[in-house]
Structure 1
Amino acid sequence: MTFASKKLHELAEVFSGYAFKSKDLGEEGLPVVKIKNVNDKIVSKQCDQFLPNNLVTERLKKYLLQKEDILVAMTGQGSLGRIGKMINQKGQYIVNQRVGIVRSKVEDDSVAEYLFSVLALDEFEQQLYSLGAGAGQPNVSAVDIGNLDIPYPDKSSRKFISKARANYDNLIENNNRRIAILEDMAQSLYREWFVNFRYPNHEDNLEADGKPKLIDSPLGQIPEGWEVKSAAEAITINPKTKLVKDGEKPFVGMSGLSEGSMVIGDIIEKTGNSGAKFINRDTLFARITPCLQNGKTGYVQFLTPEQPVGFGSTEFIVLRESEYLSSEFIYLLSRSNNFREHAIQSMTGATGRQRVHNDCFASCYLPVPPKELMKEFTELVKPMFKSIFNLSKRNENLKQQRDMLLPKLISGQIEL
């Protein structure tokens, strides 16, 4: 059985976001959704620029993100064709240029839901990418997107397909929320213990007046018994790790690192060994602009005894545990503002291609706690890291099941 098809523009209005002037964007107002927000079938709510509310004219209201809108990345190597939808949208967002908006014009909610089920298939993302590939800066137009052929079954079939996708997506989103909560808990513990110095039994180390017993250091006052060391001393940076050239091994490109989570995605099998080499429990830290500023960082947990070493982008700095700091501590440190800001300030090179140099870590100083305290912290957060990995694996399985089932439903291979 096969379904009839329609052109996307018959079912939806397709247009690009608004071309804002840089001078109009600031740090307050409506969040502006850009291409980087559209990834992995969702639209991230983490926006770095805002349109002041007093500039939102009647003409711009068309570009306000609506609940059922589907967004398409219309340009960029590695981003063109990505599809996303914002989950649990609260508040208003406005869409920037080169992000396509697909807005159903059929008075039937099932159509909007169904269109997302179709467009979010990998084959449609690849089709969009192929339409714009070949140019130095690949891109597609709203007309290109609107001319896509969309399989179009009857209403009951559309609802069934949409419901199937929604069930999978809800399970994945629930797991993502749990991952975010666990990461936030680990970050909160890190800040409480090692930034605010309110670690367990810290009250045992008090002066007669009840204030913490602190000593002077190059970093200011730190708890008695702690040391100051440079990151170059306290962290094993870009350690030599052997990896043979022959055969396929796990490879992670820059796209595999998240801007807000330790979870690493887009892992492929690849021959060769050129690039950063890493093992489980290493932190992968982006060294190039704008990836570093955007927060791209990952924590390796996916390697197996059969493949204990992986490799990745030459633009990764590998941070490995040492006798002073555990791998969990190092990952959380790498997410801290002070550590990242020091790395960013050290960047050199041409505009748009600036990089961190390893020697910057010799001038980045850290308060290093006693080994007993480090061990206690690690034992507390290690199960959180493991749970995050297990949840991410569960999500990968759910995505595989979803992406095997939906094309068969949409093509009519499975009768409804």
Structure 2
Amino acid sequence: MIELSKAAHYVSDKINVSSLKIEEYITTDNMIPNRGGVVDCESLPKAKRVTRYEPGDILISNIRPYFKKIWFSDRISGCSNDVIVFRANDENWNKKFLYYVLSQDSFFDFMMSGSNGTKMPRGNKKTIPEFLIPDFDIDKQIRIADILSAYDSLIENNQKQIKLLEEAAQRLYKEWFVDLRFPGYEDVKIVDGVPEGWKKERAECFFKITIGKTPPRAEKQWFVNGNNGIPWLSISDMRDAGTFIFKTREGLTEEAIKKHNMKIVPSGTIFVSFKLTVGRVAIATTEMCTNEAIAHFYVNDSLQAYTYCYLSNFEYDTLGNTSSISKAVNSKIIKAMPFIMPSQDIIENFSMIVSPILNEIKAKQEMCNYLSEARDRLLPKLMSGEIEV
């Protein structure tokens, strides 16, 4: 074993912010926990210059290392100061192998062991390079990287297919319900802005809508690992999950559920965030609770596809803003938001086409989860030499 500093070093190169594309800028906020990669950024920083990264670099969030945010770069762009960038020292080190070395739980545990701060711990940049890594020859590094990359390739392919399926569902929704080119539209009159036979009311007129809550954080024993207890959903969980929610970072004990009368929603419930980030939409795959910033739309199977697409396409900016600090609306506004309900035959026809698409998305998301878990179980065994290659 040797120290990480013998294999890789921090990158300090700078790049002008004016030359960056917004979607390619990396901050801790658009890095996905648990080795999930990155999503597009929504804004550039006010600083003139930031750290430059290039293909093959390894980007790691230095805030709250226990979230395990890491990404293997495939392009040239810039990142915030709270993202550390490692680069291989020389050709004796395979870049992808180093990425997998730093993807281990043991590395993030090491970052946490030397971190500073309690509410928002940061890794100690002086001690991180002291992390011990396997001193394998380059051929063995490549073999290990190839094995683990096979899992990541399958995950990436599934994610690409999920994106295409989601786009297909949303295109059909827009054709039928935005452009009003639904089957038989030629023979339907428009009355008060909607096709005849359709209804426009407050959302609460069509659905039972409830709101989640958060037990006092002071009583920490009520919060457990998301694999234990009843899953408890946060807005960041929604951002990272995709269309369907399979798991959450945290769960609640049965004691907390009972004492605080927490609402346990069933599988198939549609979630909508309405604070901090307004308008994230996802579907539950199991019973779970949520925090107070998430509304629960209870739907039957025939309404799920249409309701999910409607809520995903709704322009939440039209609801206004009830907070002077951050973007937010309140639960009354969410319950009273305008909702257009098409005629029963149109709903059924749309569901017949889109429900199978959503089911396929769900299956592919679940496959990605299985592949990630298999890769993460294999990773330490390859690095320790328990499994020879």
Tell whether the structures are fold-level matches, with TM greater than 0.5.
Answer: yes
Q: CA deviation at 1:71?
A: 0.8
- 1:10 to 1:299, Cα distance in 2 relative to 1, 3 A: same
Structure 2 residue 237 is the aligned partner of structure 1 residue 233: no
Deviations 1:382-409 (A, max 9, x none): 1111111111121122122211212111
Taking the aligned partners of 1:200 and 1:399, their CA distance within structure 2 comes to: 41
Match for residue 330 of structure 1 among 303, 307, 311: 307
- Matched residue, 1:358: 331
State the partner residue of 2:110. 127
User: Counterpart of 1:335 in 2: which secondary structure?
Assistant: helix
Q: Mean Cα displacement is larger for which, 29-38 or 190-199?
A: 29-38
Q: Does residue 1:97 correspond to 2:81, yes or no? A: yes
Are 1:341 and 2:329 counterparts? no
Equivalent pair of 1:282/1:300 in contact (CA under 8 Å) = yes
Contact kept, 8 Å, 1:263 with 1:299, in 2: the verdict is yes
Instruction: Give the match for residue 144 of structure 1.
Output: 127
Count of residues in Structure 1 that have an aligned counterpart in Structure 2: 367
1:34 aligns with 2:13: no
**1:65 to 2:58 alignment:** no
Q: Does 1:262 align with 2:243?
A: yes
* Cα distance, 1:373–1:43 mapped onto 2, change above 3 Å: same
Q: In the alignment, what sits opposite 1:209?
A: none
Please, what TM-score do these two structures have when normalized by structure 2?
Answer: 0.83
Cα distance, 1:38–1:152 mapped onto 2, change above 3 Å:
farther
| TM-score, with structure 1 as normaliser | 0.78
SS in 2 for 1:319: strand
Are 2:340 and 1:367 aligned? yes
Contact residue 15 and residue 142 of structure 1 kept, 8 A: no
1:306 corresponds in structure 2 to none
Shift of 1:30: 7.5
Decide which of 147, 165, 168 is 1:164's aligned counterpart. 147
Is the contact made by 1:6 and 1:151 (CA closer than 8 Å) also made in structure 2? yes
Matched, 1:382 2:355: yes
Residue type of the alignment partner of 2:295: I
Q: CA 1:257 to 1:126, structure 2 compared with 1: closer, same or farther past 3 Å?
A: farther
Kept after mapping to 2: 8 A contact 1:237/1:320: yes
Question: Which amino acid letter does the alignment assign opposite residue 354 of structure 2?
Answer: V
One-letter code of the match for 1:154? D
Instruction: Please give the alpha-carbon distance, in whole angstroms, between the structure 1 residues aligned to 2:103 and 2:267.
Output: 32
| Residue-by-residue CA offset, 1:116-162 (whole Å, 9 max, x unaligned) | 11111233223323432652321124323222211221222211110
Correspondence list, 1:274-293, <5 A: 274=260, 275-289=262-276, 291-292=277-278
Residue 288 of structure 2: which of 306, 310, 335 is its match? 310
Task: Indicate if the aligned counterparts of 2:208 and 2:298 stay in contact, CA closer than 8 A.
Answer: yes
* CA 1:187–1:130: 2 relative to 1, 3 Å: farther
Change (3 A) 1:238 1:70: same
Following the alignment from structure 1 to structure 2, what is the Cα–Cα distance between the partners of residues 94 and 337?
32
Give the aligned partner of residue 41 of structure 2.
47
In the alignment, structure 1 segments of 5+ residues that lack a partner are 206-212, 304-308
Query: Which whole-Å deviations, capped at 9, do the CAs of 1:141-185 have from their partners, x for residues lacking one?
Result: 432322221122122221111001100000011111111111111
Give the CA deviation at 1:204. 3.3
On the 8 A contact 2:211/2:295 being kept in 1, the answer is: no
Does structure 2 conserve the Cα–Cα contact (< 8 Å) formed by 1:26 and 1:49?
no
| Deviation for aligned residue 1:68 | 0.6
For 1:332, give the aligned amino acid. C
Q: Name the CA distance, whole Å, in 1 between partners of 2:14 and 2:80.
A: 5
Distance 1:300 1:385 in 2: 12
Contact 2:158 2:368 in 1 (8 A): yes
The one-letter amino acid paired with 1:261 is G
